[in-house]
Amino acid sequence: MIPGEFTYHRPSTVAEAVAILASHGDEARPLAGGHSIIPMMKLRMAAPEHLIDLSGVADLKGIREEGGAIVIGAMTTQHELIASDLLSNKLPIIRETSLLIADPQIRYLGTIGGNVANGDPGNDMPALMQCLNASYKVAGPNGEREIAARDFYEAAYFTALASEELVTAVVIPVPPAGHGFAYEKLKRKVGDYATAAAAVIVTMSGGSVTSCSVALTNVGDTPLFAAETCEILTGSTLDADTVNRAVAAAEAITQPASDGRGPAEYRTKMAGVMLRRALARAAERANG
Amino acid sequence: MNDMTPTREQREAALEGMGCKRKRVEDIRFTQGKGNYVDDLKLPGMLFGDFVRSPYAHAKVTKIDASKALELPGVIAVLTAEDLKGVNLAWMPTLAGDVQMVLADGKVLYQNQEVAFVLAEDRYIADDAIQLVEVEYEELPVLVDPFKSMDPDAPVLRPDLEGKTEGAHGPRKHHNHIFTWEVGDADETDKAFREADVTIKELISYHRTHPSPLETCQAVASMDKVTGELTVWGTFQAPHVIRTVASLLSTIPEHKIHVIAPDIGGGFGNKVGAYPGYICAIVASIVTGRPVKWVEDRMENLSTTSFARDYHMTAEIAAKNDGTVTGLKVHVLADHGGFDACADPSKWPAGFFNIVTGSYDFPTAHLAVDGVYTNKAPGGVAYRCSFRVTEAAYCIERAMDILAQKLGMDPADLRIKNFVKPEQFPYHSALGWEYDSGDYHTAMQKAMDTIGYRQLREEQKAKQEAFKRGETREIMGIGVSFFTEIVGAGPSKNCDILGVAMFDSAEIRVHPTGSVISRMGTKSQGQGHETTWAQIIATEIGIPAADIMVEEGNTDTAPYGLGTYGSRSTPVAGAAIALAARKIRNKAQMIAAHMLEVSEYDLEWDVDGFQVKGNPEARKSMKEIAWAAYNAPPPGMEPGLEAVSYYDPPNMTYPFGAYFCVMDIDVDTGVSKIRRFYALDDCGTRINPMIIEGQVHGGLTEGFAIAMGQEIRYDEMGNVMGASFMDFFLPTAVETPHWETDYTVTPSPHHPIGAKGVGESPNVGSVPAFSNAVNDAFGFLGSTHIQMPHDAWRVWQAAKDLGAHG
Amino acid sequence: MSDIEQVPVTMTVNGKKVQRFVEPRTLLIHFLREELNLTGPHIGCETSHCGVCTVELNGMSVKSCTMFAAQANGAELTTIEGMANADGTLSALQEGFRQMHGLQCGFCTPGMIMRAHVLLKENPDPTEEEIRMGISGNLCRCTGYQNIVKAIQYAAAKLQGRDFQEAAE
């Protein structure tokens, strides 16, 4: 349970961090909360020769509202997300999701950047970000760019991020006030990854769905934005028939791994059940 | 009497003796982080050892190249089987009469089996070195299905046993067969089945799991080449046995081996036997003359140290139409992994599984157990099992529910009808045990009244109707478990570990100023002996428990004992303690008589001293007597006040209990919620109710995990799954239900203080309660038996197969 | 020896300033146990699940097995060894664990108490459900958690100057 040797860096700016990443390429990895990479290093499943501790980079912290969007610094911890009044008011689904991630100790150190950037299909934030149509601000040696969460994930542990790039912030358009939301996660126990989870944001008016966004966690090798499900639900009154079709469409895009949480068939069905329950809760919360 | 004199009640309370909820002595150091666990130990010059392990479940080892590892600065040596052969330690005897490789000798038999032992200056370098040892393997066909182990073309796992048609427990009928153990009356039982009104037959599997204490197995071995003395600290539930084994294996005489078990972070049977890590640490220390520490990590612990269960039990019950049972037949296929390393008493290859008649009066029964080898880790007897009693209790409690369902009888009523009756004790079971005492009907009634059993059944019926009408997606189960345990191994006539009889011991010495030091042959790993043993002594000799020091685990000072497992400490050592204390009290009586110038027959014992009958003012307290013992003993009497007792129990003890589990299951997710769990235990005389409650909470939590998803599984290639805390289900405080505990007291008639032991009862009794609850929930949809564990996905699958998903 | 450059670390541990050079890969748990001889925090797994390594770092509960000592540079740490009162008497939590039989083998206890310590700072009067959620990163194999919950309730009451009333069973 001992990691391999590495050189430790602790830059104080994003530029410094990027420069170190660029000069070592694949041999360097950023260290955010550490609760994904350090366990892997202890099992010798990852052995970077350089670790770049981002905890000293002040620019990566902070939660602010900016032009209709919430901007969250990549090094914001789950604990800070949960404690944020701004998020509780404007984006309550984030707090609901964070509380379902890992355990109290891990939430003190685990960051939103770490959760979205490494491509682990078990992480909860990626599907949530896809549901929210968030984008990631990314810094690299060639400057900054922004990548939509819905375009970010390619395969398990493979993302659109180049090895010399760093996610610096998550930008989330603020959903309309009175929106309905729910993150429904089935897991074997506290601290486990999802057997299946569904993130839902809806707006309703006069009992009909005016907008709908759905994404699924850990039932594929990436988070799954359920575009067809959204289309089916939009404009409906969430009648049983429409919901059934929407759930079927969501199940159809899943390709879960069979593991200790259950065989693939079970996990697909559970994605459907989580979606149903999330829809029901979100609709109940929505104004209109 | 003036009002400064304490009353009898006050004097009793001041003793904090038997029955008192005495706060624990151990807690003072544990809550301050001042426990002394093996990995806390640092000795000058200490080296660290760690293993290279096989990625394959079954393979020849064709080459081990340690040259790159040896080039790494700080690496001292890399031991292989070849090195151990030089000291005849490449293999070691197991407690079950088999032999086990310490390091891979030509082949490996399970994934993660030890192949080489790397010795380095510290654990970081050792871990680096492990990555550099190059091993070549030639894969062999893998056998993981015990049901295929005795096929004619099954792979040969143990070439070392080739041609050996006699094993340690009798004839072997196949190259992967270990033993057949049979007990009971086959003819009489067959007759009962022929004449039965009703029979049931079911394959009831108890899956493989693991005790997983939070502290893994570890040891520090330190050989002093000058004095020729070996000291070994380790996670040893049975330190004296380890010393004897170490002496036999190393040929260092036993008086020159000092084995010390310090504080142990949980045992649960995981820390009874000897592991390759201990042997390699000892050898490495002998070779280098430096202390060597070995600490396994969690995956090593879960995948290679003693697993638990893996019993496949086919149970048959014969009964009359009115529910009276007339016969029991059980066949067990026991999966032992690559070596038979079961920590059973030597004459019991299937432990005490023949308790499988349980709490019921079977007039006749027959049991046969076949043990087999597979490509899995060795072990099998662990995890609060009382030597396979967990398996037996699960088997009979499940089978009784299946019978009840077939008869259309309520499961509690079927049990009550067949209980051994109070007047039948001591009860001779059809499979050979003499149950010491029991009052099952009283316990069952108390339990059923407390939980409102009949109303729960009515509620369940209503819920079943509601489910059928589509009004709810939740089904309700009530799990009944009435177990009879067998603990306190054991009488020398049939219980020994490697030939050493399973007595236990206590040595008690009273100091001149009236305080006490005492040592026992047991070794607590959380059971609180430093607290409870003092309580027994306090009541027996009238000295406050706070003035009584209890030590365990140092084999130089503690009298020989067989250690703590199988709930044996209270039945065996507890008796030795009481008897040693009574020897002291008897001597004290004579000293007091001398001091008071009366005959000892004129004295009576009064809480903390002797007084003259009819003249209570004439008394001597134990403290006064202690001083006199050193200063002015009666003429002809040796000075001092101490005693040793080695207790060979006349029988086992038989705790029992009534457990009920009320469960609600969401059929659409398979998730089960424990609505209520009630556990009534009868462990005879209760030494410390607070500690008993704690033991029960812990055991129930283990049973909950086991029944609801905790499993060590293997795929067809022999890859072990569930060997880390990611997948091995250990519930947190959130999943763990609230436990209700209760009790009755039916003392053991043959035990000096009537105590039976309780540590394992909650694991024995709870798994059947949980599993019966799940099965009971689905019964109305047509199922007879759903195998454990009851993970959500398995429960969902059962629901689906029964048509519950519409 | 290794070519990797050692890293200077300075931290305050249980009120005392500590300065060392460490290998970058030295885990904080090993730094505490092996270098500083604070063997209260324990090691129970290598996958960051069990929590027996939990310490307080800058007011947070952290699993010290999943941090490098280098990351703790400049931090203020408290381990179980720093919990007793200045006069040597046990803290409310330590007393509560003893009074309520919240431990058996003692192995999870240092981490459990350190987590409870920060939990009670986050939430001085937690409900039972909040306590159970609050300690969900700490495993125990002996107690079944029920008496640990009581121990924490005892301490919460004591810290607020209330008497602790055990709920009737």
Span B458-469, pLDDT tens digits: 999 999 999 999
Are A108 and C60 an interchain contact pair (Cβ–Cβ within 8 Å)? yes
Q: Given B124, B668, B731, which is nearest A189 (Cβ)?
A: B731
Inspect the interface and report whether the beta carbons of B797 and A269 lie closer than 8 Å. no
Q: Is the dihedral of CA B498, B502, B503, B507 positive or negative?
A: positive
- Residues of C in CB contact (< 8 Å) with A are 2, 4-5, 7, 23-25, 27, 46-49, 51, 54, 60-63, 66-68, 70-71, 73, 115, 119, 133-137
pLDDT score recorded for residue A287: 85
Contact yes or no for B23/C96 (Cβ under 8 A): no
pLDDT in tens, B241-290: 999 999 999 889 999 999 999 999 999 999 999 999 999 999 999 999 99
Q: How far apart are the first and last CA of chain B?
A: 81
Interface test with B, best of C97, C146, C154, C166 (most B CBs within 10 A): C146
Interface of A with C in 181-210 (CB under 8 A): 190-191
Interface contact B792-A259, CB threshold 8 A: no
Is B24 an interface residue toward C (CB < 8 Å)? Answer: yes
DSSP for B423-477? GG-SEE-TTS-EE----HHHHHHHHHHHHTHHHHHHHHHHHHHHHHTTS-SEEEE
A4/C4 Cβ within 8 A? no
The pLDDT value given to residue C165? 77
User: Could you give the CA distance from residue C24 to residue C146 in angstroms, rounded to a whole number?
Assistant: 40
On chain B, the residues whose CB falls within 8 A of the CB of A1 are 127, 297
| Tokens found for residue A3 | 């990691």
Q: What mean pLDDT is predicted for residues B299-305?
A: 98
A99-151, pLDDT tens digit by residue? Answer: 999 999 999 999 999 999 999 999 999 999 999 999 999 999 999 999 999 99
User: What value does the mean pLDDT take over residues B94-104?
Assistant: 96
Cβ-contact C119, C126 below 8 angstroms = yes
Measured CA to CA, the distance from residue A112 to residue A116 in angstroms comes to: 6
In this predicted structure, what is the pLDDT of residue A39?
A: 97
Please state, in angstroms and rounded to a whole number, the distance separating the CA atoms of residues C99 and C101: 6
pLDDT-derived band at C2, boundaries 50, 70, 90: low
Indicate the helix (H) or strand (E) that contains B93. Answer: strand B91-93
Query: Any idea what the Cα angle at residue A25 is, between residues A22 and A30, rounded to 5°?
Result: 80
Question: What stretches of B469-573 show up as alpha helix (H) in DSSP?
Answer: 529-541
Q: Which of residues 267-306 of B touch C (CB under 8 A)?
A: 267-268, 295, 297-299
Comparing alpha-carbon positions, the chain B residue that sits nearest to A263 is B793
Tens of pLDDT, residues A49-79: 999 999 999 999 999 999 999 999 999 999 9
- Residue from the list A103, A189, A270 with its beta carbon closest to the beta carbon of B729: A189
For chain C, list the contacting chains (3+ Cβ pairs, <8 Å). Answer: A, B
pLDDT-based confidence at residue B432 (cuts at 50, 70, 90): very high
The mean per-residue pLDDT over the stretch A76-92 comes to: 98
Q: Is the pLDDT of residue B752 over 90?
A: yes
Q: Which of B53, B158, B243, B384 is catalytic?
A: B384
Can you tell me the mean pLDDT for B62-83? 98
Residues B531-538, mean pLDDT to the nearest whole number: 98
What pLDDT, in 10s, does the model give residues B308-362? 999 999 999 999 999 999 999 999 999 999 999 999 999 999 999 999 999 999 9
**Bridge partners for B309 per DSSP:** B208
pLDDT value, residue C1: 47
Distance CA B170, CA A212 (A): 71
Smallest CA–CA distance, residue A173 to chain C, in Å, is 31
Please say whether the beta carbons of B65 and B86 come within 8 A. no
CB of A44 within 8 Å of any CB in chain C? Answer: no
Q: What angle do CA C23, C26, C27 make, to 5 degrees?
A: 160
pLDDT over 60 (residue B1)? no
How distant, in Å, are the alpha carbons of A53, A73, B701, C15, C25 from that of C71? 7, 19, 36, 19, 10
Query: Active-site residue B760, yes or no?
Result: yes
Q: Which two tokens stand for residue B805?
A: 């998903």
User: Of the residues B114, B202, B711, B760, which is catalytic?
Assistant: B760
Using the Cβ of A227 and the Cβ atoms of chain C, whether some distance falls under 8 Å is answered with no
Q: Which residues of C touch A54 (CB under 8 A)?
A: none
Question: pLDDT tens digits for B639-648?
Answer: 999 999 999 9
The pLDDT assigned to B76 comes to: 98
Instruction: Give the largest Cα separation in chain B, rounded.
Output: 90
Kindly write down the DSSP assignment for every residue of A212-277, as one continuous string: EEEEEESSSSS-EE-HHHHHHHTTS---HHHHHHHHHHHHHT--PPPBTTB-HHHHHHHHHHHHHH
Q: Taking residues C108-130, report their average pLDDT.
A: 98
Query: Is it the case that residue C169 has pLDDT exceeding 60?
Result: no
Q: How far apart are CA B221 and CA B224, in angstroms?
A: 10
Mean of the per-residue pLDDT values for chain A? Answer: 97
Instruction: Report whether pLDDT(B2) > 60.
Output: no
Please state, in angstroms and rounded to a whole number, the distance separating the CA atoms of residues B200 and B328: 10
Q: Does B793 touch chain C (CB under 8 A)?
A: no
Task: Give chain C positions within 8 Å (CB) of A38.
Answer: 48, 66-68
Q: Which of B554, B478, B542 has the alpha carbon at shortest distance from B516?
A: B542
How many C-beta atoms surround the C-beta of residue B587 within 10 A?
21
Sign of CA dihedral B29, B30, B32, B36: positive
B802 pLDDT higher than 90: yes
* Min distance C74 CA to chain A CA atoms (Å): 11
Q: What is the ipTM of this complex?
A: 0.98
How confident is residue C51, by pLDDT bands cut at 50, 70 and 90? very high
Chains that touch B (3 or more CB pairs under 8 A): A, C
Q: What is the pLDDT of residues C125-167, one digit of tens each?
A: 999 999 999 999 999 999 999 999 999 999 999 999 998 877 6
Active site residue B385: yes
Is residue B3 over pLDDT 70? no
Mean pLDDT across B116-136: 98
Cite the beta strand spans of A113-207 per DSSP E. Answer: 135-140, 143-148, 153-155, 158-159, 166-173, 180-186, 196-205
Type of residue at A276 = R
Task: Say how far apart CA A63 and CA A41 lie, in whole Å.
Answer: 30
Taken as a whole, chain A contains a residue count of 288
Q: Tell me what pLDDT residue B446 has.
A: 98
Stated pTM of the model: 0.98
B568 is catalytic: no
B435 pLDDT more than 90:
yes
Mean pLDDT estimate for chain B: 97
Task: Decide if B243 is catalytic.
Answer: no
Residue B787 pLDDT class (50, 70, 90 cuts)? very high
pLDDT tens for B766-775 read 999 999 999 9
Q: What is the mean pLDDT of residues B173-180?
A: 98
Asked if B45 contacts B291 with a C-beta cutoff of 8 angstroms, the reply is yes
Q: What is the pLDDT of residue B251?
A: 87
* pLDDT of res. B725: 97
b/e sequence B220-242, b meaning 16+ C-beta within 10 Å = bbbbeeeeeebbbbbbbbbbbbb
Range 237-256 of A in CB contact (< 8 A) with C: none
B212–C106 C-beta distance less than 8 A: no
Q: How many CB contacts within 8 angstroms connect chain A with chain C?
A: 85
Residue by residue, DSSP assigns B233-293 as EE--SSHHHHHHHHHHHH---GGGEEEE--B-S--TTTTSS--HHHHHHHHHHHHHSS-EE
Distance from CA of C151 to the nearest CA of A (A): 19
The pLDDT tens digits of the residues spanning B608-651 come to 999 999 999 999 999 999 999 999 999 999 999 999 999 999 99
Alpha-carbon distance of B567 to C57, in angstroms, equals 41
- By the CB < 8 Å criterion, does B71 face chain C? no
The separation between CA B670 and the C-alpha centre of its own chain, rounded to angstroms, equals 31
Min Cα–Cα distance to chain C from B85, Å: 33
- Cβ neighbors of A23 (< 8 A, separation 6 or more) are none
CB B22, CB B531: distance < 8 Å: yes
Q: What confidence score (pLDDT) does residue A224 get?
A: 98
Q: How far is A95 from chain B (nearest CA, A)?
A: 19
Q: How crowded is residue A46: how many other Cβ atoms within 10 Å of its Cβ?
A: 16
Tokens of B419: 């209980």
